[in-house]
Structures are given as C-alpha cells and as structure tokens.
Amino acid sequence: MADPRIRIKRSAVPNKKPTVQQLPLGKLGLNTYDAELFVRRERSGIGTDVVSVGMGATVTNILYVTSDGSDSNTGKKLGDAKATIAGAVAISTTGTIIRVSAGDYTESNPIKLPPQVSIVGDSLREVTVRPNDAAEDLFHVAPGNYITEMSFNGSLDAGKACFAFDPDTIRTSTQSPYIRNCTNFISNSIGLKIDGDAVGGDFNSMVTDSFTQYNQGGIGASITNDGYAQIVSFFTIATDIGIYCGSGGQCDITNSNSSFGNYGLVADGVSSTFTAGIVTTAAAAGSDTFEIAGLGTSRPYDGQVIYFENLYYELKSITITNEGSGYTSTPVVTIAGADESWGIDATARANVVNGRVTSVDIISNGRGYTNTSPNITVSAPDSGTTATLSLEMIPKYYEVVSATQPNLGISTVTINEQVPHAVGVGTTTPVFRQSRVLASSHAFEYIGSGTDIQTALPQLGGVTITENEVDNRSGGRVIYTSTDQAGNFKIGDGVTINQSEGNITGNAYQKSVLNNVTPLILALGG
C-alpha cells in the first residue's frame, strides 16, 4: 500500500524546479523563494513530468499586475506580480496578455503598447487607471491591441486622450486596436483619438464596444485625417461633442447614445485632396453623371465628394447679434446676391416679438456664392435700434453615388444631385474624402443642455437644443436614424415622426407625398 502521508520537499533557490527523479509520485515540492508548488504527474502513453500548481505557477505569455506587487518582480505569476501596467508593458512582447487585478493604479504615461498585446482587467468597476502626467495621452495603442474591463480617472489636459495612436512611432496597421467594456471618467479628455496621420496602411482605425464616456466637457471619440472607427454601444454623457469626424475622418456607430452635453454627432469638412481628375465630355446644366479622367486606377466611391473647378457656398445659418428694438412690423432681411448668373439669392424672414427680432427663418439657402461672407442687413424700425445679424456659409460639395472602374483612365461618376451649371471639357474635378458619421439607432437625450451635469439635468434647468443633435460643418455629413428623449423618431434631416403630436414632417417626406399625390390629383382632373 502507498504511503498515505504527503511529503513536501523544499528549496529556497530562485527558479529551482524539482526533477522527476527528485519528486516521487504523491509528494509535493515547494520553492519557498518563488512561492511555487510542484507535483509529479504520470499519464499513461504520454509520459511523466513535474508541473507547477496553484497561484504560483509560472506561464510564458501572461504577465500579472496587482496593487501590492512590485515592478522589480518578474510579473510571471500572481505571487510575483508587477505593480503597474507600465511595468508589465515594459517587458511584454507580441502575444502577451497582461492581467490586471482589482486595484487603483497611477501610471507613468503615455503607456506605449507593443503590437498584439492585450490588457485584461478583473472588473470594469474594480480596476481604475490614472495618468500621472496630465499633459500626455494615457495609452498609445498599436495594431492588434485589446484592452478591456477597466475604468479611467484622474486628470488629462484638454485634447489628450485615453487611447491614441503613437505619433512618435508610425506603424503600418494590419489589425485595429479594440477597446471593450471600459469607462472614461476623465473630464475634458478624449476617449478615442483616431488620427489617421499617426498610423499607416489600410487599417488606420480603432474598434470599440461598450465604452462609456462620462468625461464632462471632453469628446467621446475624435476621428480625423482619414481615420476610421467602428463603434457599438458607445455612450457619451455631458461631453462637448459625443462623436467628432473631421478632415476626412469617418465612423460607423450603432446602438449608441448621446446624453446632455453641447453637441451629439459632428461631421466637419473634408480631407486634403485625395486625387484630381479632368472632365472629358461636356455636360449640360442639370447633369448628374460625368466622364472624368486622371483618377488613377481606383474609382471614386460613396464616402467621397467632388466639385467642378470652383468651390461654391450656400447659406447654412443666421445668428442674431443684436435683437434691435421698436419694431412694429416685420423688417426686411437683405442678403447680398449670388455671384454667378445661374445662382440663386439666399433669402430669410425675421420674426418679431415685443418689438425685437427674436428669430430668423431661412427661406432659401441660395447657391452660386463665391463670397464666404456676403453682406446681411435688417431694415430699421420706425423708432428704436436696428437689429443686426451674422451668417455662416458652407461649401457645396457633391457626393459620389457610384463610379465605374477606370477604363483607359476614364471613370463614369454619378453624383447625388444635378449640377446647376454647364461643365465643360477640361474642367478640374478634385476628389476628397468626406468627414462622415454613419449612425443607426442613435439615442439623443437633452443635447445642448451643457457639459456640467449639475446644471444639465432638466430638473436643474437644462434646456435641450435640438439642432445640436447633429451638426454638419463645412461639407461634412451625418447620416443617421435617431430617437430623442421625447421618443421622436428621425430618418436623417428629411423625416421626423413626432410622437406627441402624431404627425410626420420633413423635406424628404413632403417631397415623397407630392411625388405620389400630384399624379393622382392630375388624373382626377385637379
């Protein structure tokens, strides 16, 4: 009968492991220096060896971080854990997983991650990471990184991010960094900063899932310079801007929410010139399809925009700079006329309450303006002070709907609307990547109420500014479906279903109704 007693052989030599000959079956070996326990295992047909058991076991591709660890430790087991994430990252290599135990970690930042390194926290609620240097980003990510189950707190200067590409090491990315199930509590910070100029290759992007931004006054995600993001379940609370795409940045966002703050989804401008073509076949006014050469081997695609020779402008908004006084009738708003013969003058109507101009309705946005600041005036009252206005003009780009693969260097390009002027042979046609947010099932709640949650809540005086939910700036575009805090449903800017009033409004809806009803009326002899 085998000896029932468990015998423990001991060693205090670092990294000492007993051999099969030294450790009979049924006995335990203990390294008192490494706090590591060993047992002999015998497997029929496989062989006999000695393995580590329990918390002290050493692994080759996992590093451990604990709040009571030390950066002088190896990090290869819980009993020998590192004290900081940065300490573990410093010895990590491709394929390393860094496991962070519950605790509060102040880190020397930026933490520059090697490619294909994962950081896995014990729990979103129990792992807190704080930057030591507010003037630097917290993490600089690399291709193939995965970060999950942690929260970020402390301080960062405005414009600094929890996650950004390393601007000092431009890598060609073959796999997007992935941020999952984290929360950002750092006021004025950026959650994701995706600068396409800081990474190379076709995957100048990040992806995220379940990343909450309670960073009052900051930006949830900033995507610029042809950067790209795929975003799911992204929640922003009291941010200055929930999602910002600029300089050709684009993102797809699904099942997400923007609550309080100043702006929800913002698309701003276009990229630098992607390429430039030349029109090869003259097109009359009212055309939407063009033969364009000189675009190289790649065809233009949906998400790019063009214009023909000259960039024109149209009216976006009018701001009241002085309400004036003493108005007893509606004053006349005069806007300088369009610069081209085929243009249309912008027009507007003032609204007067108690003798003051309180709002201005845009009747026509106009077209064919080359002046980015046309003069705008309001007629004077019979007695009192004259109101003053300012306006904002935005550039007119045409969105690419489709294009053929270039044949003999020529592509047939179809755009989203008809060009109101003739386009001659030899017309230069620059191509840009449009800053674009593509949002489906997005929820807006009290957008415009401000970035201080103590005053943004409706019960504390917060006021919603509906037009701040979506902001198309300088040729950028937000394509979206959404609901707001009242349950009103929108399909872009063209269709709004108001639940409380039970009606449907919007330019696209009205156009659709007219397109369907008018033939019926005519058929009935109307």
Query: Which residue do the tokens 């630098």 mark?
Result: 272
| Digitized pLDDT (tens) for each residue of the chain, 526 residues in all | 556 665 688 888 887 888 888 888 878 888 888 778 888 888 777 788 887 776 556 667 899 999 999 999 999 988 889 999 999 999 999 999 999 999 999 999 999 999 999 999 999 999 999 999 999 999 999 999 999 999 999 999 999 999 999 999 988 888 999 999 999 999 999 999 999 999 988 779 999 999 999 999 999 999 999 999 999 999 999 999 999 999 999 999 999 999 999 999 999 999 997 889 999 999 999 999 999 999 888 789 999 999 999 999 999 999 999 999 999 999 999 999 999 999 999 999 999 999 999 999 999 999 999 999 999 999 999 899 999 999 999 999 999 999 999 988 899 999 999 999 999 999 999 999 999 999 999 999 999 999 999 999 999 999 999 999 999 999 999 999 999 998 899 988 878 888 777 678 666 555 554 455 445 555 565 5
**3-class SS at 46?**
coil
Residue 329: the pLDDT is 94
Q: What is the Cα 167 distance to its own chain's centre? A: 18
Supply the DSSP symbol for 367. B
Residue 5: the pLDDT is 63
Q: How many CB atoms lie within 10 A of CB 373?
A: 12
Residue 335: the pLDDT is 98
Strand partners, 39: 28, 51
- Closest C-alpha among 465, 477, 440, 480 to residue 263: 465
Task: Work out whether strand 103-107 and strand 376-378 pair parallel, antiparallel, or are unpaired.
Answer: unpaired
Q: Please name the residue ranges forming H helices in 67-184.
A: 85-89
Strand partners, 437: 251, 478
CA distances (Å), origin 509, targets 495, 505, 516: 6, 6, 11
Residue 6: the pLDDT is 59
Phi, psi of 22 (to 5 degrees): -80, -20
Cα-trace Rg, the chain: 31
Structural domains in the chain, sorted by start: 8-56 (no CATH), 62-215 (2.160.20), 275-310+397-433 (2.40.30), 312-396 (no CATH)
Task: Work out whether strand 388-396 and strand 470-473 pair parallel, antiparallel, or are unpaired.
Answer: unpaired
Phi, psi of 325 (to 5 degrees): -160, 160
What is the helix, strand, coil percentage profile of the chain, to 5? 10, 45, 45
CA distances (Å), origin 412, targets 263, 407, 408: 38, 9, 12
Task: Work out whether strand 250-254 and strand 161-165 pair parallel, antiparallel, or are unpaired.
Answer: unpaired
* CB contact at 8 A, 173 and 203: yes
What is the pTM assigned to this prediction? 0.86
Task: Work out whether strand 103-107 and strand 127-131 pair parallel, antiparallel, or are unpaired.
Answer: parallel
CB proximity list for 58: less than 8 A, separation 6 or greater: 34, 36, 52, 76, 77
* CB contact at 8 A, 256 and 231: yes
Residue 510: the pLDDT is 57
Residue 200: the pLDDT is 87
* CB contact at 8 A, 113 and 89: yes
- Closest C-alpha among 333, 291, 313 to residue 429: 291
Residue 288: the pLDDT is 97
